Structure 1
Amino acid sequence: MSDEISPAGKSSDRATSPDLRASHADRDRVVEVLRVAAGDGRLTSDELDERLETALSARTLSELTALTTDLPPVAASGGAVVAEVKDVLRIERRFSPVKRVGRWVVPRRLELATEFSEVTLDFTEAVITQDTLQIDMDMQGKNLILITKPGIVVDTDALNLAFSKIKIRHAPDPDMPITLRVELVGKKSFGRVVVRHPRKRAARRLLGKPARRPAD
């Protein structure tokens, strides 16, 4: 059975005193619970912003617990949710693809330095602990594919393009609270930037719907 992230931000099978001082990891885990709740429609955008501000300044575990007492715990399959979040992740690659899928931990900043390497970043099941991800790009050739879900928006205004195109296949839902803003900066040459939702089969699995069977 997988552990769960409890309201105090710890695994549910570990007892801790609520008067203990909170660590950065404790705050990050509670932020993840809040973001999942907002993505599920349990918190409004204003509620999310208010609770995130309180979580990031919380000093004790009891302060963190108060933020999630009305929310369900978040399953942590294989301990991915409690993994350390890197401040900066740099990926350098030539002539071979890059993929981040499943419950990978999104860093606070990502640097892409690639040559003719297709890069796929799938955020649909990723562990996200902050509201903004800046991707610094120095990417030549091939495509950058960002697979998103409702609540994730991609900002490409600061990206310098050379013989490249941007294709965003789904417009953001104005009624959906923003849980992650992905900001693309730097340079993309010779290729495309594609922002899309998961394929139909993956999308139905993400929403907890059974796959459709082919007609007889």
Structure 2
Amino acid sequence: MTDDKAQLPELRASHADRDRIAEQLRVAAGDGRLTMEELDERLEKALNARTGSELAVLVTDLPAISAGSALAVSAEPKELARIEVSSGSAAREGRWVVPRAIEVKAGSGSVKLDLTEAVLTGPTLQIDATVRSGSLTIVTKPGIEVVMDEVSVSSGSAKVRRPEGADSVPIVLRVEVSGSVRSGSITARPPRRSFMDWLMRRRIRFE
């Protein structure tokens, strides 16, 4: 199986590209979409960004900008990506460019699609999944909605766990999952908390 991420070209960002993203961030802060702390953090990342993908990820949860801007610098998304595993595993994690559609076939293996840092290139993502005794896991964050109305289930499961704070964030990506599950599972969930996250939440609760 080839790695789609390795095939995607990474184009270097110019000073003009960084300036356009910085301006979009300032406008978003002026509209109340970003706090001043978020603005400062993203501006620093924008000024240090080396590629179009590093710039694009800074504005994926903000209103789209005009064609020809820095967001267009990122790699052109594929129309369809195919992922097939039998008894192994496959994952798309970190900063990867989300295609318009993904076809997943999982026998007794596992597939993980982590969208938390992915470069989103459109408002919707179609996933056609055929899962036997394996699993498909979709990792989400506030602003990403997953719908599994078109999934048929035999003795397995298809579950969606919404991230905390999802109701207060506008939807930037709708993931529409269709297909079938036999004795396996399809799960959409937020990232798992680390032990330190759990410890901090517990400390705040009892203070």
TM-score (ref. length: structure 1)? 0.60
The corresponding residue for 1:18 is: none
- Residue 131 of structure 1 deviates from its aligned partner by 1.0
Gaps of at least 5 residues in structure 2 are: 1-11, 22-51
The corresponding residue for 1:201 is: 194
Partners of 2:178 and 2:80 lie apart in 1 by 15
The corresponding residue for 1:153 is: 145
Contact 2:106 2:134 in 1 (8 A): no
The corresponding residue for 1:23 is: none
What aligned pairs does 1:46-195 form with structure 2 within 5 A after superposition?
48=63, 51=64, 55=66, 58=67, 61=68, 64=69, 82-170=74-162, 173-195=166-188
Listed one character per residue, the Cα deviations across residues 36-87 of structure 1 (whole Å, up to 9, x for unaligned) are: 4363xxx4xxxx3xx46xx3xx4xx4xx4xxxxxxxx88xxxxxx7333111
The corresponding residue for 1:14 is: none
- Residue 122 of structure 1 deviates from its aligned partner by 0.7
Contact 1:166 1:193 in 2 (8 A): yes
Contact 1:38 1:177 in 2 (8 A): no
Q: Which runs of 4+ in 1 moved over 4 A?
A: 2-5
Aligned to 2:194, the other structure's residue is in SS state: helix
Contact 1:87 1:107 in 2 (8 A): yes
Structure 1 residues 111 and 121, CA, compared in 2 at 3 Å: closer, same or farther? same
Between stretches 176-185 and 83-92, larger displacement belongs to 83-92
Aligned to 2:167, the other structure's residue is in SS state: coil
Aligned to 2:120, the other structure's residue is in SS state: coil
Aligned to 2:59, the other structure's residue is in SS state: helix
Partners of 2:171 and 2:104 lie apart in 1 by 24
Structure 1 residues 36 and 158, CA, compared in 2 at 3 Å: closer, same or farther? farther
The corresponding residue for 1:6 is: 18
**Paired residue type of 1:180:** L
- Residue 190 of structure 1 deviates from its aligned partner by 1.1
- Residue 199 of structure 1 deviates from its aligned partner by 2.0
Structure 1 residues 202 and 89, CA, compared in 2 at 3 Å: closer, same or farther? farther
TM-score (ref. length: structure 2)? 0.62
Structure 1 residues 155 and 189, CA, compared in 2 at 3 Å: closer, same or farther? same
Aligned to 2:180, the other structure's residue is in SS state: strand
Contact 2:137 2:188 in 1 (8 A): yes
- Residue 153 of structure 1 deviates from its aligned partner by 0.8
Considering fraction of residues, name the structure with more helix. Answer: 2
Q: CA-atom RMSD, angstroms?
A: 3.4
**Paired residue type of 1:114:** A
Listed one character per residue, the Cα deviations across residues 84-139 of structure 1 (whole Å, up to 9, x for unaligned) are: 31110011221111111111221110001221111111111111111100001122
